Amino acid sequence: MKVIVKKDYENMSKEAANIIKKEIEKKPDIVLGLATGSTPIGMYEELIRLHKEEGLDFSKVTTFNLDEYVGIDKDHPNSYHYFMKDVFFDHINIDMDNTFIPDGKAEDPESYCKEYDKLIDEKGGVDVQILGIGENGHIAFNEPAEKLNVGTSIVKLTQSTIEANSRFFDSMDEVPKTAITMGIGSIMKAKKIILLANGKKKAKAIKELIKGDKITTYLPASMLLLHSDVTIIVDEEAYNG
Ligand code: F6R
């Protein structure tokens, strides 16, 4: 596990964007695994700048998002579909037919989850997976628990995640309590994983992860210790607390 500590959020974001840029230049038809949330926004902004000012080409890129709330329409302003278009896809030359985000309104969620993992495999698997991390150590929406799901699944969000997500909603009642998320196994299949974290709130989870001596389902991110190509990019606040 490689750890890169950057001075601040901006430098963390640029470091991640530059790694992705190099990977796209090496393999123009790369499959990227993408995350939502506050953490990767700066990275998306830098990728948009690289597209507009330096011609970074997304025309052959395929993307798979980690997760989506259950029961939320794709055009709802708090859906991850909306977020991805608003923050990233609308500003680059990606073919929207090559972007995949779990459908929070799938009619048959169980078989849909299996299809999502199958589709990732059919597209050749994720080359580079971007991850954020929850304050409680979750990755995607794989929350700390006695057992973790291997494949894409429907999951209940923990109270701490519901509270963390409530900042985007008008009231706690509106925050979805379930989500569809790629499982730990789906994530671990990625050839390369980049986990980003910034701010003091992430310091505890990052400290435990970087210690690197134990894996536990109660710190889902610790499963990444079993992967052979993980880079953690953090700002000083997330590193030092
Ligand atoms: C989002 C996701 C989540 C977030 C995590 C951190 O697609 O998978 O695991 O990465 O909750 O969220 P932020 O970045 O908002 O602190």
What is the pLDDT at residue 167? 87
What is the pLDDT at residue 164? 87
What is the pLDDT at residue 148? 97
Q: What angle do CA 38, 39, 43 make, to 5 degrees?
A: 110
pTM: 0.97
Distance CA 194, CA 231 (A): 5
What is the pLDDT at residue 220? 98
- Residue 160: pLDDT band (50, 70, 90) is confident
Q: How many domains in the chain?
A: 1
What is the pLDDT at residue 165? 87
**Ligand 1 within 6 A of CB of 38:** yes
**Ligand 1 within 6 A of CB of 181:** no
Give the CA radius of gyration of the chain: 17
What is the pLDDT at residue 150? 98
CB atoms within 10 A of CB 223: 19
CATH code of the domain containing 97: 3.40.50.1360
List the one residue out of 76, 8, 77, 69 whose CA is nearest residue 42: 8
Question: Could you tell me which residue, 174 or 56, shows the higher pLDDT?
Answer: 56
Reply yes or no on whether the pLDDT at 161 is more than 90: no
What is the pLDDT at residue 144? 95
pLDDT (tens digit per residue) in 106-132: 999 999 999 999 999 999 999 999 999
- Calculate what percentage of the chain has a pLDDT beyond 70: 100
The residue range of the domain holding 234 is 2-240
How far, CA to CA in Å, does 205 sit from each of 144, 231, 240?
Answer: 12, 15, 12
To the query of whether residue 67 is one of the catalytic residues in this protein, the response is yes
Q: Which amino acid is present at 132?
A: G
| Spacing, Cα 118 to ligand 1 middle (Å) | 24
Candidate list 51, 127, 136, 198, residue with the active-site label: 136
Distance CA 212, CA 33 (A): 24
Average pLDDT over residues 59-85: 96
Reply yes or no on whether the pLDDT at 55 is more than 90: yes
To the query of whether residue 142 is one of the catalytic residues in this protein, the response is no
**Ligand 1 within 6 A of CB of 42:** no
